[in-house]
A and B are shown apart, each in its own frame.
Chain A
Amino acid sequence: MKKLFVLSVTVMAIAFVGCNPQITKQEFAPKMYSEHPLSIVVLPPINNSTAADAKEYYTTTIAEPLTNCGYYVFPLEVVNDILKQEGLFDTETMMNVPVQKFREFFGADAVLFVTIEKWNTSYLITSGSVTVTIRCELKSTVTGEVLWFYDDTVTVDTSGDSGGAGGWAGLIAKAVTTAIKTAATQYVPLARKANEKILLAIPYGKYHGSYNADGQMKIEKKTNPDKK
């Protein structure tokens, strides 16, 4: 029995470690553990993808997972209106505003900058998929420094079900199903999936049960291309 346990733990450890370099949350984002930001304002994302709607899909789904990680998140619709009152209409302009200003506007401890790098829909005859790549950067409104960053990619398979009919008729039917399914993929669940995956790597906030106790949790190491 003991052997079984050791074996299962080993298998799990291998499965979790994979081939990518691992790092603890504490080592990866030490400033999160010294500064303890609580309230986060999420700015409208920068959209580098070819999907024009990606921005909307994304913003409606970020509050849920971020609050569930223990943070206070300002409601995005209200935030957008306030930003407009400040004369800030697009994210590119917001990028040039000193981060400290957002403490003044909202009383926020940190600002989350999001970039949608990819939102690709692709389908071949019998297989389709949507790939989403998102990059996040959390900056302190006290020091202006980067507290945490992460990026990740989620791919959802939208292939049509393999129907019973064979031959050409079956193949055509399958191609049609795949195309329809890929086009009609539910975008909100997809954006949600991408968010949830990225936020696995954020240290927990004050409202989470494991607040301050997750420093040794291992995550996949990433390098921030913005950091000079």
Chain B
Amino acid sequence: MKNIIGSFFFLFLLSGCAPQPLFYWGDYSETLYDYKKSPDEKTLDAHMKSLQDIFDQSAKLNKRVPPGACAEYGYLLIKEGKDQDGLMYLDKEQALYPESAVFIQRIKDEMQRGKK
């Protein structure tokens, strides 16, 4: 019996890139694709909702928010003119993933430049 359990465990080990994914991405790919294919208010709104869903579900599942999600959300908010909220998400990205520092600074610089 133990051996059978053992062989199942072996199979589990072999089954590749983490059977339980590290991050929750929800419908991200689908809504981003729709937005890219026909960029309008409706598809943008749907994509932002799926990012929001990533934040909610990640918290619920006790997972870390996936890399880039906060940065993308913040960037989209800034594009909509919601600078304060946008900056909050950019800072969140950098706090979660310090390796994003150069990138986040770059978005902030662009934002300042856009205002002048």
Contacts and interface: CB of A to CB of B under 8 A. Distances in A.
Given A9-B7, A9-B10, A56-B37, A78 B28 contact: no
Contacts of B28: 60, 63-64
Contacts of B37: 53, 56
Contacts of B102: 106-107
A105 B106 contact: yes
A1 B7 CA distance: 12
Contact of B22 (A8, A57, A67): A67
Nearest to A61: B29
Given A9-B10, A75-B68, A200-B17, A4 B3 contact: yes
Interface in A1-32: 1-2, 4-5, 8-9, 12, 16
Contact of A5 (B3, B29, B36): B3
A188 B29 contact: yes
Interface in A53-90: 53, 56-57, 59-61, 63-65, 67-75, 77-78, 82, 85
Interface residues on A, range: 35 or more
A74 B103 contact: yes
B100 A12 contact: no
Interface in B37-74: 37, 64, 66-69, 71-72
A127 B40 CA distance: 37
Interface string B79-115: 0000000000000000001011111001100100000
A209 B18 contact: yes
A59 to B, nearest CB: 8
Given A38-B99, A75-B69, A106 B22 contact: no
B72 A107 contact: no
Contacts of B23: 64, 67-68
A192 B29 CA distance: 9
Given A12-B11, A78-B72, A107-B99, A67 B32 contact: no
A199 B11 CA distance: 19
Interface string A170-199: 000000000000000001100010001001
A5 B9 CA distance: 12
Contact of B33 (A16, A71, A188): A188
Top 4 nearest A-B pairs by Cβ distance? A107-B102, A75-B68, A75-B72, A5-B3
23 contacts: A2-B3, A5-B6, A9-B10, A38-B99, A60-B32, A60-B33, A67-B66, A68-B23, A73-B68, A74-B103, A75-B72, A77-B32, A78-B103, A85-B110, A105-B106, A107-B99, A107-B102, A108-B103, A188-B33, A200-B16, A207-B67, A208-B18, A210-B18
Interface of B: 1, 3-4, 6-7, 10-11, 14, 16-18, 21-23, 25, 28-30, 32-33, 36-37, 64, 66-69, 71-72, 75, 97, 99-103, 106-107, 110
